Amino acid sequence: MTALFALATSLLWGLADFGGGVLTRRAPALTVVVVSQVIAAAVLGVIVMATGGWSEAGPQLWFAVAAGAVGPVAMLSFYKALALGPMGVVSPLGSLGVAVPVSIGLVIGERPGLLQCAGVAVAVAGIVMAGGPQLRGAPVQRQAVLLTLLAAFGFGAVMALIAEASTTVTGLFLALFVQRVTNVTVGGAALYASVRRGARALPAEGGAAVVLAALPALTFVGLADVAANGTYSISAQHGPVTVAAVLASLYPVVTALAARGLLGERLRGVQAAGAGLALLGTVLLATG
């Protein structure tokens, strides 16, 4: 179950990142984050009311609040990085955030077997190689790398926090709802401050019409991100965090393949080799 839900997480996050990266080339990144999370919060609010999730409220929801505060910073940084550089380069660096939950898993006493340790090493190496990251180049490329590393730490922190926010399915819906409401609050405040400083909340060309036309895509990004958080939480609760975190972090491979198939971004040799290593690491983790 751990491997299945973790791989579902990687698929959902990979597609959400691809969609978010494309949208931030058309609209301001903060607007993409806020609108997509508002839609997700609305859907989750209905689910919480329908399932009676309010009865699961407790101190553990503070983990969801913390995840919600960190999430917008990570998403904004990542979406800006995706808009600056090729997705196949930026996305794998974002997966380095896996070091946060893996480290926590080791601290709390998880000890993966030899085969799983090999799988972790192979998968992480493959994830990084899958993007063929270019650490040298123009200032824009360096900025993209710095933004991605900031996002990576934030994503890792969110993974660790959301796994602690609930122990039941209905409680998970409530935790994800609280996380999204916090996302909207923090992201909305940042958007307001940005507009006050003279930045645009809407695209320079097309304005609100562009955002309205993108609502289906924004809905997909928001709900895919929510679903990914949910499947990761289930995965981490039913197996070793070290395994769940690494398998969930295969999402850059999905993003790179989506960029290749839909945008025509060409994969370099090192990227193809990285994808192969990531797959081999997945097999080792799943069988170990």
Residue 150 has pLDDT above 60, yes or no: yes
Integer distance in angstroms from the first to the last C-alpha of the chain?
A: 14
Over range 58-77, report the average pLDDT.
Answer: 87
Residue 147 has pLDDT above 80, yes or no: yes
Q: Is 27 exposed, middle or buried (0-12, 13-18, 19+ CB in 10 A)?
A: buried
Q: What is the pLDDT of residue 181?
A: 93
d(CA 233, CA 9): 9
Q: What is the pLDDT of residues 73-97, one digit of tens each?
A: 887 787 777 777 666 566 666 767 7
Q: What is the pLDDT of residue 71?
A: 84
Residue predicted with more confidence, 43 or 284: 43
Q: What is the pLDDT of residue 249?
A: 77
Q: What is the pLDDT of residue 133?
A: 52
Place of tokens 């990542």: 78
Residue predicted with more confidence, 87 or 12: 12
Total residues found in the chain within this entry: 288
Contact in structure between 76 and 33 (CB atoms under 8 Å): yes
Closest CA to 126 of 271, 10, 285, 284: 271
Over range 89-108, report the average pLDDT.
Answer: 71
Coil, strand or helix at 207: coil
Q: What is the pLDDT of residues 159-175, one digit of tens each?
A: 888 888 887 888 888 99
DSSP state of 250: T
Q: What is the pLDDT of residue 104?
A: 75
Over range 9-18, report the average pLDDT.
Answer: 88
Residue 135 has pLDDT above 60, yes or no: no
d(CA 43, CA 213): 19
Q: What is the pLDDT of residues 111-134, one digit of tens each?
A: 666 776 777 777 777 766 665 555
d(CA 158, CA 78): 14
d(CA 276, CA 123): 9
Q: What is the pLDDT of residues 31-58, one digit of tens each?
A: 888 899 999 999 999 999 988 878 778 8
Q: What is the pLDDT of residues 186-240, one digit of tens each?
A: 988 988 888 888 878 777 777 888 888 889 999 999 999 889 988 888 888 887 7
Burial 89-127 (b: 16+ CB within 10 A, else e): bbbbbbbbbbebbbebbeeeeeebeeebebbbebbbbbb
User: 60 pLDDT band (50/70/90 cuts)?
Assistant: confident
d(CA 202, CA 152): 27
Q: What is the pLDDT of residue 220?
A: 93
Q: What is the pLDDT of residue 91?
A: 63
Contact in structure between 161 and 66 (CB atoms under 8 Å): yes
Mean per-residue pLDDT over the chain, rounded: 79
Q: What is the pLDDT of residue 138?
A: 43
